[in-house]
Structure 1
Amino acid sequence: MTPATNAFVDLDELLRSVRELSVAGRWERAARLLAAAAVDEPAARARITRAAAEVALDRDWFAGTDTAAEPIDAAEKEFPDGDWDTDFLRLRHTYGRLLLVDGTLRIGPDGKDPEELAALLDRAEGLQDSAPDEVRRGWAAMYRGLITENHFADQATAAMHYAAALRAGEDGSDGLLAREALRHLGSLDHDAGDDERAGERWRRATALGARAGTVPGTLSQQLLLAVLARGAGDEAGARALGAEIVRWAGAVGADRLAAQAAAFLAGADPTAPGPAEAA
């Protein structure tokens, strides 16, 4: 048995390390690190609780698990007077939850409660207006775009929100935000038949994701590049890349992504309107 050791670790440094682990797809390690942090001070405990909710939400998105509801509830209790970052976690969770209709991911408003969708969009706008800095304002804009596109099927308006998110990511040097915006702007280009522009954006998004350390995010970008290879007639290249994505995603526990890549190998188009487009 390894003896317990008391050691001082700066909380900001701890939370940065946890965030990097989560972005890299090391969700269990990130959660264990947070669980091992013994703190008594209420403000520190609240930040750790919020970080645990973010790790759970990241894992749910890529692994297809359903673990974030309880941690987000716990985080909200730690901030009874409200907290922008916790409110944003709730927005992200609700956005993903409402994509499910009868257990199936569905793009567009069909089968969804219009009042609930309107409230979600209003909440995203409120978070954008109240954001404490430009980067977080950009993330709120990003989700306004996602909600507008994937719940309301309004690509033109979504593109404006994605462009705002891209500007914020570039101005604030947030590679993950810029990557997310480029990913979805590229998808709109692809839908419009402009694969050259889509490829430019998707390749840049892939590089930004890799630089930021997002293993599952980079793999999801490579799946889009495999789509372009297939569309250009390079089926062998597309299948080779798809097979590696299945292998890598399975190895890091990104089971939802692995399933999407396996479906691609079987002939599915992950950019077609339907479940895979929301990822």
Structure 2
Amino acid sequence: MTNTTSASRTSVDFSELLACARELSLAGRWDRALGLLETTSVGEPADRTRLALAIAEVALESDWFAGTDLARSRIEAAAGLLPEEDWDLGFARLRHTYHHLLLVDGALRLGPDGKDPATLAGMRQQAYGLRDRAPDEVRRGWASMYLGLIADNHFSERTAAPAHYTAALEAGESGPDPLLAREALRHLGDHDHDFGDPHRALERWRRATALGAGAGTVPGTLSQQLLLAVLARDTGDEAGARALATEVARWAGAIGAVRIEAQATGFLAGVDPTAPPQHSEDIG
């Protein structure tokens, strides 16, 4: 495997290159990660599919946090190399559909109103299919995670979602996959907060913040910090809440995570990012 530029050709271990690109993406360096991957040349068919899927994953992260529109073409490029039933391809498509239906003209559209019922039902059926045919427990956990997100954010089925998040948490802890565990804790904590248990929410959100930081996800950690600001405001520490949110907005703006920046700015203006219909699932 080679990474090529106009000036040089350098041989590096392919798995290490994919891992480095993944870490760059987690850090919010989506342009750099895509640049690294898209200038990489591989010969083996299996490596070409891994590369195409890695490119699609980075593009999905960029679209979600930075508001770009990069994933669709990258997912279809990967589809040209893989059988239709490939699990990772299906999961990339599920994520893209979920995000596409949730974000309209840069704004959140929560709940089923204004969305095609057949499209929503098809998305949920796809998630169940991915869960049931997952090749390992961690992938099964990620499918469960999206079943919870779909129930919460597209069907407004708040009582149905926590069971899916709990299944995702168990998979993330046993995998282990700290990013999956972080995601599940984030959303379980949102339900704790909504149902009047701020102490349990704080416990879960603190743990989610630490897991995300340990895994290197900069935008994900910033989104968690904003939830801690919400709890600070809830307990009367407005100065602490504003100080934390100000730094979240500053950091998010610096890395181009425009959605988190907007949410933090809204919080400073008095908007509660966890209040219905704006649940904390909206970002990250």
Which one-letter code corresponds to 2:21 in the other structure?
A: V
Matches within 5 A, 1:54-69: 54-69=57-72
Q: Name the counterpart of 2:122.
A: 119
Q: CA deviation at 1:102?
A: 6.6
Which one-letter code corresponds to 1:272 in the other structure?
A: A
Residues in 2 aligned to 1:275 and 1:231: alpha-carbon distance in whole angstroms: 16
Residue aligned with 1:198, SS: helix
Query: TM-score if structure 2 supplies the norm length?
Result: 0.94
Residue aligned with 2:143, SS: helix
Q: Name the counterpart of 1:97.
A: 100
| 2:13 counterpart of 1:10 | yes
Which one-letter code corresponds to 2:25 in the other structure?
A: S
Residues in 2 aligned to 1:61 and 1:103: alpha-carbon distance in whole angstroms: 10
Q: CA deviation at 1:173?
A: 1.4
| 2:53 counterpart of 1:50 | yes
Which one-letter code corresponds to 2:81 in the other structure?
A: E
| 2:228 counterpart of 1:225 | yes
Which one-letter code corresponds to 1:207 in the other structure?
A: A
Identical residues among aligned pairs (%): 65
Q: Is the 8 A contact 2:131 2:140 kept in 1?
A: yes
Q: Is the 8 A contact 2:190 2:279 kept in 1?
A: no
Matches within 5 A, 1:186-201: 186-201=189-204
Residues in 2 aligned to 1:148 and 1:209: alpha-carbon distance in whole angstroms: 24
Q: CA deviation at 1:101?
A: 4.9
Q: Name the counterpart of 1:173.
A: 176
Q: Give unmatched runs, 5+ long, in structure 2.
A: none
Relative to 1, partners in 2 of residues 1:158 and 1:101: Cα closer, same or farther, differing over 3 Å?
Answer: same
Q: CA deviation at 1:81?
A: 4.5
> Which residue, 251, 254, 269 being the options, matches 2:254?
251
Residues in 1 aligned to 2:184 and 2:59: alpha-carbon distance in whole angstroms: 22
CA RMSD of aligned residues (A): 1.5
Q: Is the 8 A contact 2:179 2:215 kept in 1?
A: yes
Number of residue equivalences? 278
Residues in 1 aligned to 2:40 and 2:104: alpha-carbon distance in whole angstroms: 38
Residues in 2 aligned to 1:275 and 1:103: alpha-carbon distance in whole angstroms: 14
Q: CA deviation at 1:6?
A: 2.6
Q: Is the 8 A contact 2:71 2:96 kept in 1?
A: yes
Residue aligned with 1:155, SS: coil
Which one-letter code corresponds to 2:97 in the other structure?
A: T
Residues in 1 aligned to 2:278 and 2:159: alpha-carbon distance in whole angstroms: 20
Structure 1 runs of 4+ off > 4 angstroms? none
Q: Name the counterpart of 1:71.
A: 74
Residue aligned with 1:7, SS: strand
The worse-fitting range, judged by mean Cα deviation, of 88-97 and 102-111 is 102-111
Q: Give unmatched runs, 5+ long, in structure 1.
A: none
The worse-fitting range, judged by mean Cα deviation, of 124-133 and 105-114 is 105-114
Q: CA deviation at 1:80?
A: 3.3
Residue aligned with 2:160, SS: helix
Which one-letter code corresponds to 2:247 in the other structure?
A: E
Q: CA deviation at 1:110?
A: 1.1
